[in-house]
Amino acid sequence: MKLLVAASAGGHANDLGALLERADTMWPDRPSVYVTTSNVRAAKFRSEGVEAYVVREADRRTPISAAIAAAQTLRVIWRERPDAIVTTGAMPMAIMCVWGRLFGAKIAWVDCLSQVDTLSLSGRVIRALAHLTLTQWPEVATRFRKVEYAGEVL
Amino acid sequence: MIFLTVGSRYGFDRLVRAVDDMVDRGEITDEITAQIGLGAYEPRHMHYERFIEGNRYDGRMRDADMLIGHAGSGTISLAVTNCKPLLVLPRRKRYHEHVNDHQVATARKFEELHHVLAADDAEDLPRRFAELHTFVPVRRLARTDELADRIGAFLFAVEPKIRRRAR
């Protein structure tokens, strides 16, 4: 399985990092592609032999950056054609999930730990097309359809 | 030593200025170092750097007796895993510090669980900082293995379908 993992810098990357520490023993394959918004993170993954892409950080206040991120993530999906995507957000990675879905990838979206009493805007949009949507807070799972709680990184 | 950190994404002038003023007024006497990101305000009363990467950042975290920061999950996560007392000031949408007020909810939640102290606003920082000296954060028991395992189960479940597609 060609597994692509993705996270924006900051809390999102920490969340994903905690999951990747366990991927060796709990997931069928190690990720072969890593998508980030941080050059430092990308360099670290390349040094470990994992293909890494850096895309532009964007949020709803930065439509131009979002457009650039959309183009960059489309290029990533076009080149890599992942079988599955696991991501902890944020917005650029949500856009990438849309491209991934169009190219047939299976999508697992893990909403960020910092979303303590609601689902992120990205999460709310993406759960319609994701195959698995997880929140890290049990109360949030009870309030949103198609959203599961299974545990938390912290 | 105190480590002030605002995360890697946006500056946080409201927090940095408030802490700098506390040093100026003598409310903070401990040695302090600040990581201020892209903030416009440059501290006058404490040592600062804009970005501190990787190992050096972890080192700052380890060396600190107390932490002051924004209520980002990355910062809270590092404090909780290192068992460091952390005082947070949540970023607010109305000051254009973030896209929404989710940090207010994060701060409230982790304070309810006694993992951090949270200040409502900059004026509230000195009072909460005084409490930080005796604050002992509650350890957090996270079900991270269960979360990773659930994703693993999902990947194992979709694997046969992917194989079929490949043929």
User: Could you report the per-residue pLDDT of B25-42, keeping only the tens digit for each?
Assistant: 999 999 999 999 999 999
What chain B residue is nearest to A130 in terms of C-alpha separation?
A: B154
Q: What is the DSSP string of A6-46?
A: EE-TTHHHHHHHHHHHHHHHHSSS--SEEEES-HHHHHHHH
Q: What tokens were used for A81? A: 């054609």
Structure tokens at B84: 């460091």
Closest Cα in chain A to B53: A40
Whether A116 and B106 lie within 8 Å, measured CB to CB? yes
Mutate to test the interface with B, among A81, A87, A114 (most CBs of B within 10 A): A114
Q: Is the pLDDT of residue B163 over 80?
A: no
pLDDT confidence bin for B9, thresholds 50/70/90: confident
Q: Are B80 and B70 in contact (CB under 8 A)?
A: no
Structure tokens at A102: 């169009």
| B74: confidence class by pLDDT, cuts 50, 70, 90 | confident
How distant is the Cα of B102 from the closest Cα of chain A, in angstroms?
A: 6
- Decide if pLDDT at B166 tops 70: no
Write the pLDDT tens digit of every residue in B89-117.
999 999 999 888 889 999 999 999 999 99
Q: Which two tokens stand for residue B20?
A: 């700098």
Token representation of residue B123? 């004026």
Please tell me whether residue B135 adopts helix, strand or coil conformation: coil
pLDDT score of B165: 67
For residue B53, pLDDT beyond 90:
no
Residue B75 corresponds to which tokens in the numbers above? 């910062």
Evaluate if residue B167 carries a pLDDT over 80: no
Q: Which one of B76, B155, B166 has the shortest CB-CB distance to A28? A: B155
- What is the pLDDT averaged over residues B130-154? 95
Question: B158, A84: Cβ pair inside 8 Å?
Answer: yes
Mean pLDDT of chain B: 93
Q: B123 — contact with chain A (CB < 8 Å)?
A: no
Contact at CB, A26 and B148, closer than 8 angstroms: yes
Tokens of A12: 């999102």
- CB-based contacts of A88, cutoff 8 Å, min separation 6: A6, A7, A12, A13, A15, A16, A19, A110, A111, A112
Choose from A3, A116, A127 for mutation: most chain B CBs within 10 A: A116
- Given CB atoms, is B74 within the 8 Å cutoff of chain A? yes
Burial label for A29, CB within 10 Å (0-12, 13-18, 19+), is middle
Residue A36 in this model has a pLDDT that exceeds 90 = yes
Q: What is the pTM of this model?
A: 0.81
Q: Check if B162 contacts A (Cβ < 8 Å).
A: yes
Contact between B73 and A13 using a beta-carbon 8 Å cutoff: no
Q: What is the pLDDT of residue B12?
A: 97
pLDDT (tens digit per residue) in A73-128: 999 999 999 999 999 999 999 999 999 999 999 999 999 998 898 999 999 999 99
Chain B residues near residue A121 by CB distance under 8 angstroms:
100
CA–CA distance, B26 with B109 (Å, rounded to integer) = 31
